[in-house]
Amino acid sequence: METAKRTVNAEQPKKRRWKKWTLVTLGIISLLVVSVVIFVNVYINRSLPELEGEVQLEGLQKPVEVIRDDDGVPHIQAENSLDLFRAQGYVQAQDRLFQMELARRQASGTLSEVVGEATVNQDKYFRTLGLRRAAEKSLEVYSQDAVTILQAYADGVNAYMEEAKEEKRLPPEFALMGISPEPWTPIDSLTIGKYMAFDLGGHWERQAFNYYLVSQYPEEKAYELFPDYPKGAPTILDESEIVNVAASFEEVTLPHEFNGSNNWVVSGDRTASGAPMLADDPHLGLATPSIWYQMHLRSPEYNVSGVIFAGIPGIILGHNDHVAWGVTNVGPDVQQLYLEKRNPENPHQFLFEEEWEKAQVFDEPIQVKEGETIAYEVVETRHGPVISEFAEQSGKDTVLSLRWTALDATTELEAVLDINKAANWNEFEKGLEKFLAPAQNFVFASKDGTIAYKANGRIPIYENPDDALLPMKGWEDENLWQGYIPFEELPKTVNPEIGYVATANNKVTDENYPYHISHNWAQPYRYERISQMIEANDQLDEETVMDMQMDVKNLQAEEFVPLMLERINRSELAGIEKDGLALMEEWNREDERDLPQPLIFHRWMLNLQKVLYEDELPAEMMDLFHGAGQTTDELLRKVRNGEESKWIEEAGGIENALTSAYTMTIRNLSEKYGEDPSSWKWGEYHEVEFTHPLSSISYLERFFNPGDPQPVSGSRVTVRAAGFKENGLVNHGASWRFIIDLENMKEAYHIVGPGQSGHLKSNWYHDQLDDWVEGDYHLTKTDNYEGQSLILSPAS
């Protein structure tokens, strides 16, 4: 007993010591964690930009004042233009330096240097396209004045970059990735400009897909999936005007197939103020930071307000004291694939007119973080870079090269600087002569009451429009482009009798126009809805136009739901499936986030595509099937009109296809949202978050993507554009909303989702996310504005 007792007593001090040391260890760990958190917080806060006081800036001739208003919009006031653009570079770098670094790396094909192996294929793609090589060619054709401005802007970026390095105040993303930015150059700005042309620029993927179709399927079946436009659908210009005109990192990045926009301009006859009104909302990727940066630039030569891409000087969309403008994407056929015949004895020679021509060869070694440098070679024929490896099965046994207008020397940034100073339509149109790629639908309004439209850019001439549907033989001279549509003959209208112009990526011209523009138009749903709303109201004001931009009427559903309800096989439905159908019959055809019907409709349409194509088309080829939804619409129209469709017949007929897609939809939705369809909500699936590129790292998500995803109304086909991935996450839509009544040129309404700043601790980081969801605009003025003031002074 005593021995046992002594043993127990001997253990008790050990347990007490263990508990004591455990508490001490936990205390030390907690202290360390708190210390690390404090250190990280102090470091992150230190990297916030200075918004008040005075900073010396090398190269300035005179002091420049930067006033940031309550929405984080910088108003830059300078006494000369070079100081203005040097300050613009400095201010953009303050708020968006990391975004600028990633943008130039993505466009240049150098992401792998800082990311690693995950982006090697993406880098290969952009090295092959050669956006940076095209930027270098472009700089050579810029005027000396424009080059001087580009350099002043770059000097401003570098001034902030060096200041942040010296004071260890670089944005936290640089520390997380273990990188330090290299000096900015004019080529970087032009390369980012070329990237935007890439994002909006063409249809080579669809050509590759069409080539796959004709090589794998009978002619009739293959041609059924070629792009088409609904018969009788409206175009932007009517016949009389046309007669006048004719005088995360891992995947290879392809342009979003729904890249588009809305814009419209109305004359004073249709507004409450009696002055023209203009609205614009470009549809691009939705992310943190926003693709747009809002600014106001003021000097003796400039007083212009609007948005620009981070990394570029000037204002690309907006207004000055005299004119306002906005754009949508024309989507012309400016990319052409060519089949090439390679010399079997020399892989760098290709046949042209019965002779072997030597191609250009570029060594493009790809440095990989924590890996070996990859030797990579880019080959360019007379047409352009060989891109076969990115064309999936279409390039498997074929050499394909790409001819593309944006790979030529072009001068868009010089055009931006010119139109920023335009005082009327003639000066504005003169500036557009230098805006070559991407081709854009410009709408315009001026203080003198003029409204105008022009489909602007370098658009190749095709003798036979069908040539733009498939790759052409690169070894024959007759297949070369026949020049470009003359500038004076591009589609245009000034002060149309109807009193407005609207564009929504729909078809620009009808069959009377003498030139081919595109085979790949957006379906006319958004354009038709915009026209309906304009024509229903001849007293438009800002509030009305805001409501128009947020409109969620679904004209695709208006067209096809009656057909779907009529042709579905109701005898095969039971229980919850019948309940869902009853809901569809009473739907008001609006894509509101609290309604169940939009959820059923959009999933039904997506599943219909799966029924029609999934078993026949390889998954990798579906990635090149841009506009698959539009093609499906055309197949439904054929059936509705009593015509035959091979793809629908082989899916068991329209009744079977619709029924299979519908039952699949209800089954999937009931598994996720329950057995009562009336309780389902579009917004439970259709949510927006504005994700940051580093948020894919799980422990960083809560910092870079603050808050939960938010339910949002609208869809791909509504005026309130909100495109979504298959998991429902909204990743595409109105990246900027803009409205101006030209009665007062000193103010305009904006939304830049999710906010102005790229710094996660800034008050302006995600402060416009709720505004974007709800449609709450902020007013930006070009005089009588107030805010935090920073003076940039010439370095002594």
Residues labelled catalytic: 261
Residue 285 near residue 753 (C-beta atoms within 8 A): no
**In the Cβ-directed half-sphere of 276, how many Cα atoms lie within 13 Å?**
28
Instruction: Name the amino acid, one letter, at 382.
Output: R
Give, in order, the Cα–Cα distances in Å from 755 to each of 73, 292, 297, 495, 690.
10, 9, 19, 36, 10
Give the C-alpha separation, 173 to 291, whole Å: 17
Interacting residues of 186 by C-beta distance below 8 A, sequence separation 6+: 139, 147, 150, 151, 153, 154
Given phi > 0 = left and psi -120 to 50 = alpha, else beta, which region is 454?
beta
Q: Is 337 helix (H, G, I), strand (E, B) or coil?
A: strand
Fill in the amino acid letter for 134.
A
Ramachandran angles phi, psi of 200, nearest 5°: -120, 10
CA-closest candidate to residue 694, choices 249, 275, 256: 249
Rounded (10°) CA dihedral 763, 764, 770, 775: 140
Are 736 and 570 a contacting pair, CB within 8 Å?
no
CA dihedral 10, 14, 17, 19 (to 10 degrees): -120
User: 379 has which bridge partners?
Assistant: 361
Q: How far, in Å, CA of 429 to CA of 487, rounded?
A: 10
Distances (CA, A) of 24 to 17, 21, 29: 10, 5, 9
10 Å CB burial of residue 678 (0-12, 13-18, 19+) is: exposed
Residue 428's nearest CA partner among 273, 323, 320 is 323
Q: What's the start-to-end Cα distance of the chain, in Å?
A: 90
Contact assessment for residue 600 and residue 669, using Cβ atoms and an 8 Å cutoff: yes
Tokens of 297: 């630039």
DSSP 116-174: -GGGHHHHHHHHHHTHHHHHHHHHTTS-HHHHHHHHHHHHHHHHHHHHHHHTT---HHH
Query: What CA–CA distances, in Å, run from 665 to 266, 583, 597, 600?
Result: 42, 14, 12, 7
Query: How many secondary structure helices (H) and strands (E) does the chain include?
Result: 25, 29
Q: Determine the Cα angle at 709 with ends 708 and 711, to 5°.
A: 125
H or E stretch covering 277: strand 277-285
| Interatomic CA distance for residues 459 and 255, integer angstroms | 19
Helix (H, G, I), strand (E, B) or coil at 796: coil
Q: How far apart are CA 619 and CA 251, in angstroms?
A: 14
Q: Can you list the pairs that 637-641 forms with residues at least 24 positions away whose Cβ atoms lie under 8 Å?
A: 637/230, 639/563, 639/567, 640/563
The residue assigned the tokens 């909302």 is 281
The C-alpha atoms of residue 720 and residue 727 are separated, in whole angstroms, by: 20
Annotated binding residue at 333? yes
Distance CA 391, CA 620 (A): 9
Q: Which residues are annotated as a binding site for Ca(2+)?
A: 333
Residue positions forming the annotated binding site: 333
